[in-house]
Amino acid sequence: MPIYEYKRLEECPFCPERFEVFQDVHDAPLAQCQHCGAACKRVVSAPNLKKYDRGHGGALSASNLERQGMARWEKRGDGTCERTAGTDENGPRYLFKDGSTASE
């Protein structure tokens, strides 16, 4: 179930100005604070996204990608993409702007 953030629209000496509520995605937004009854509205807040770590053991680390049979290419300053993870079985070493490739 997602967590929705709400902002109080009326003064209340007891409740915080913003609060979070676990709700089903099909539930209607709250119109009143569940504790004091003050008017409130759902607000858009930043999502909590997992940061992918390229370091040792991270989801995008070279060793993990290779173990999964995948590859990663990174763009260089000249527009060429160089494989930074994976093996020759996963694709060429270089991808050029014109669509050509090279293994070394």
Mean pLDDT of 5-28: 90
Interval 18-77: pLDDT, tens = 999 999 989 999 999 988 899 999 998 877 656 665 666 677 788 888 888 888 889 988
Q: pLDDT value at position 42?
A: 94
Cite the beta strand spans of 26-85 per DSSP E.
40-43, 72-75, 81-85
Q: pLDDT value at position 57?
A: 64
Q: pLDDT value at position 90?
A: 79
Is 0.85 topped by the overall pTM?
Answer: no
Backbone angles phi, psi at 89, to 5 degrees: -65, -25
What is the rounded CA–CA span in Å between residue 18 and residue 16? Answer: 5
H/E run at residue 63? helix 62-67
Q: pLDDT value at position 9?
A: 93
